[in-house]
Amino acid sequence: MKTDFSKFEKNIGIIFKSKELLRQAFTHRSYLNEHRDTELVHNERLEFLGDAVLELIVTEYLYGKYPDSNEGELTAFRSALVNSDTLSNAAGKLEMNDFLLLSKGESKDIGRARQIILANAIEALIGAIFIDQGYETAKYFISNNIFNLIEKIIEEKTWIDAKSKFQEQAQDYESVTPLYKTLKEEGPDHDKKFTVGVFLGKTKVAEGEGKSKQEAEQIAADNALKAKGWIIN
């Protein structure tokens, strides 16, 4: 039985011309492994496109919204706005989880792996919107569901580079420079998932997962700040 996406279309205010393109945006590679007779295509190419569209539109928005911010600050704002945590939260608010096409195994995993799948899916959705209806509609979707998150990011200072902050605090409190080690690397080249541990001396303080080593390190540093109770000022 096919998933009915009409409720989702109504929720986002966008009616797709190509329903198969919309369905593809929600199709995880694992689903195809269990449904080899299906004509569906997984969402990784759409994710690749959507990532680029998202970055351009967010960059354009931040450039106009914060005329007094320098390149480094704008880059940090953008990174915080398009990382997997922020995107998975946005996808969660849109109830995208209810429409994901996953294998039985992936369906049971509701932890960090699911957050990454959701982040990838919303990027794939943006790619699908761009192909189906063009730049302005993609901008409309991102404006409605992602732009509004920047105020909270700035208010809570989550845009601040967590690695830099953790290093400062580690040196102040314990006179040690943090060391980052890749603990796990999974998936094909186009869809890697990295698990990185951050250590103070021989002690592992926290771990982080991300689509790149850099993202995983930032998440590990943020988790380490929380684990140590070191407040970001």
d(CA 98, CA 130): 22
Q: Give the CA distances from residue 93 to residues 50, 86, 96, 146, 187, in Å, rounded to whole numbers and listed in that order.
A: 19, 11, 8, 11, 27
Q: What is the mean pLDDT of residues 78-107?
A: 88
Per the CB < 8 A criterion, the answer to whether 213 and 196 are in contact is yes
Q: In the structure, what pLDDT confidence band is assigned to residue 92 with cuts at 50, 70 and 90?
A: very high
DSSP H or E stretch at residue 210: strand 203-210
What's CA 74's distance to the chain center, in Å?
A: 18
Q: Which residue has the tokens 């011309």?
A: 17
Note the pLDDT of residue 232. Answer: 54
CATH architecture of residue range(s) 162-228:
2-Layer Sandwich (3.30)
Identified catalytic residue from 44, 51, 85, 207: 51
Q: What are the φ/ψ torsions at residue 131 (nearest 5 degrees)?
A: -70, -45
pLDDT of residue 1: 43
How much of the chain exceeds pLDDT 90, in percent? Answer: 58
Q: Considering 44, 47, 106, 123, which one is annotated as catalytic?
A: 123
- Alpha carbons 110 and 131: distance in angstroms, whole number: 30
Q: Is the pLDDT assigned to residue 47 strictly greater than 70? A: yes
Phi, psi of 35 (to 5 degrees): -135, 65
- Which carries the bigger pLDDT value, residue 176 or residue 158? 176
pLDDT band per the 50, 70, 90 thresholds, residue 96: very high
Rounded CA separation 129/24 (Å)? 11
Query: From 3.20.20.70, 1.10.1520.10, 1.10.8.50, 1.10.40.30, which CATH number describes the 6-155 domain?
Result: 1.10.1520.10
Q: Which of 7-11, 64-68, 108-112, 194-198 comes out lowest in average pLDDT? A: 108-112
Higher pLDDT, 162 or 123: 123
Model confidence at 72: pLDDT above 90: no
Does pLDDT of 233 surpass 70? no
Q: Is residue 181's pLDDT more than 90?
A: yes
123 catalytic? Reply is yes
**Where do the domains of the chain lie?**
6-155, 162-228
For this structure, is 51 an active site residue? yes
